[in-house]
Chains A and B, each alone.
Chain A
Amino acid sequence: MLIRMNDVQWCFSQVKGAIDDDVAEADIISTVEFNHSGELLATGDKGGRVVIFQQEPESKNQPQCRGEYNVYSTFQSHEPEFDYLKSLEIEEKINKIRWLPQKNAAQFLLSTNDKTIKLWKISERDKRPEGYNLKEEDGRYRDLNTVTTLRVPVFRPMDLMVEASPRRVFANAHTYHVNSISVNSDCETYLSADDLRINLWNLEITDRSFNIVDIKPTNMEELTEVITAVEFHPNQCNTFVYSSSKGTIRLCDMRASALCDKHAKQFEEPEDPNNRSFFSEIISSISDVKFSHSGRYMMTRDYLSVKIWDLNMESRPVETYQVHEYLRSKLCSLYENDCIFDKFECCWNGNDSVVMTGSYNNFFRMFDRGYRQDVTLEASRENSKPRSVLKPRKVSTGGKRKKDEISVDSLDFNKKILHTAWHPLDNIIAVATTNNLYIFQEKLN
């Protein structure tokens, strides 16, 4: 049953991170991702750290809200490195985190910086063996002369310990900067993409990877486009898509050939040549591509809009939603302050009926596909009283500004929401501002 989006009231649930305005570079959040059950929520930051939150089971005392997310595990995933050959610094910033579907008691995720992908295992330990014959409880070896009887060590409960360990390191396969990773539905392979190439890996094998897409021109002066994102189809293990800086999406079928330079489908909206400007190509660059859960549609995010494509129709998107059209008349200053190059992500809700993406001034937008409604909400400390309902925001574009509206010139372009995530099943969303993580939940009565 589709619930009309505007019937959903979003309430503040939690906010993570420091309150002070002085943001350290390392604390800038660079990725947010729920796992497949929604029980775990992972964040990565510019300092190479990963923090995983776990949802508490719903308490009988508070049936009005779903469980809160509390810290489950945190670890240093990547460290800064120096490439001596090219004299380049390799940032430890976590570009993407992708969870593997859970197969046993442990949880696995892939995290990547610009050059290296790592497979992390997160496991729980809640019991430990006690009663060794040769060792004391503190680990010291016993004097063998004092050992007169034999006993069987037993497992006793201990305080829960969550351990994260790197199980695989996939290195040295990318000359350019890795921008995305995607786990295959077969749970055996995954893709990693940099600006010019896409590699296919087996999760078990770290010393080999297959290059399946290579768009590097022989003469670099002829370079016209770069790869911006890649994603595997959610249930067809042979199909993946990759987006480009020119606004095209190519769908490839790995059954067709080993090298997927030739695409099976190319999705591109024809451009009106009369409307072409200096900015056209820059704002058409796709910053994120996400398949719907159903696998029937895919969503792309470019600078000003979100587009929904039907995989059966390459000629144009089936739906287009304007995120912040009022910025079209500000492109000059947005180019000068580099904001025009900001890479916004987008996400689907669990039943593919609503899509969400971020904007400036800590605003984020939701679009209901069925009922054709949209709403602008804000992630701010002012609206962070427990369970307070978020009030829709509005940006005034005309001359007259209504009360409670904010004018375009008052928007804070340093407050960007680039990363958002939607719980796979429930109406719970995670929204990252520069250095804070907000969790909002649907108001349940």
Chain B
Amino acid sequence: MSGDNEETQTTENTPMDEKVQDKVISPEKSEEAKLKARYPNLGNKPGGSDLLRKRLQKGQKYFDSGDYNMAKAKIKNKQLPTAAPEKTEITGDHIPTPQDLPQRKPSLVASKLAG
């Protein structure tokens, strides 16, 4: 990577010198050490498939079609229809349906750049 300071190292280094030189030569590595100290479970493949797959799935996913169909089946079996979501509802228990979702309308307000 361009821009790194590459200092020629003498063959004999005391451990203290090495630590200091590490910090001087590679600020990235010391930042990496900092990160690993905070998140010890961080995997070793940062740019790997986990990060990329998260990127590919960008976008709020509201419901899974399998869950959705199960929930619909549940509703059919009950005598009473499911009530509107209550405030005491446990997160994750209620499967959203297309009807529940807030309709995202386009902005009817003109851009402030044009104001």
- A-side residues, CB < 8 A to B, are 16-18, 26-27, 29, 43, 45, 47-49, 51, 71, 74, 76, 79-80, 82, 84-92, 114, 176-177, 195-196, 220-226, 245-246, 269, 271-272, 275, 277-282, 284-285, 304-305, 317, 320, 322, 325, 328-332, 335-336, 435, 437
Contact = CB atoms under 8 A, between A and B. Distances in A.
Contacts of A79: 105-106
A275 B26 CA distance: 7
A42 to B, nearest CB: 11
B87 interface: no
B105 A80 contact: yes
Contact of B31 (A220, A272, A329): A329
The contact size tier of chain B is 35 or more
Contacts, number: 159
Contacts of B34: 332
Given A49-B107, A325-B3, A332-B34, A220 B114 contact: no
Given A17-B113, A76-B106, A87-B61, A304 B3 contact: yes
B46 A272 contact: no
7 contacts: A26-B109, A29-B113, A51-B114, A82-B98, A224-B52, A329-B27, A336-B35
With most chain A CB atoms within 10 A of its CB, the pick from B1, B61, B109 is B1
Nearest to B42: A278
Contact of A16 (B49, B51, B113): B113
A370 B62 CA distance: 53
Given A82-B98, A332-B31, A332-B32, 4 more contacts: A51-B114, A277-B32, A320-B3, A331-B27
B106 A92 contact: yes
A223 B109 CA distance: 41
B20 interface: no
B111 interface: yes
B58 A278 contact: no
Given A17-B112, A74-B114, A82-B101, A279 B32 contact: yes
Contact of A74 (B28, B32, B53, B111): B111
B21 interface: no
